[in-house]
Amino acid sequence: MNELAWLVGRRFQLLTRREYDWVVALDNDASIVISCLWRLVESDRIRITSEDEGQTFGLPEPVKAAAEVNRRLNGATVEAIELRSGLLDLELQFSTEHSLQILPDSSGYEAWNACCGNRQFIAVGGGELAVFGGDMDSGSS
């Protein structure tokens, strides 16, 4: 059972970088806070990752990862979710044929958390998914 199936059908709104993490805002008050490596895949190729932020790669300006993701996922809808049991790798597949892959990179720290209404799903260290809160207002688990 995929406890994050409620993300399917949500429309991407915005990726924002904060000081120590990234926030993916989806419609209907859903969000994913990412505190680990993420990458955007297009046509089976890595297009951009969280590690690219601020890098120049010989370009005239440093990479703005959030702006690039926002441009590519503008108006996209989540079509499928894959959650890798035990590792908690999370992949959101979008209607634009892009995939946002979230890859936990620590055995001790929380990698990401997904929220909707009063429900919260936290990828805790060691590969466990902790779930808090009651029923979601829009969607089911």
* DSSP codes of every residue in the chain: --TTGGGTTPBEEEEEE-SS-EEEEETTTEEEEE-SEEEEEETTEEEEEGGGTT--TT-SS---HHHHHHHHHTT-BEEEEEE-TTT--EEEEETTSEEEEEE---SSS--EEEEETTEEEEEETTTEEEEESS--SSS--
What pLDDT shows up at residue 10?
98
pLDDT tens readout for residues 27-77: 999 999 999 999 999 999 999 999 999 888 988 899 999 999 999 999 999
CA atoms of 7 and 64, how far apart (whole Å): 26
**65 vs 1, higher pLDDT:** 65
pLDDT tens readout for residues 81-120: 999 988 999 999 999 999 999 999 989 999 999 999 899 9
Domains delineated in the chain: 5-132 (3.20.190)
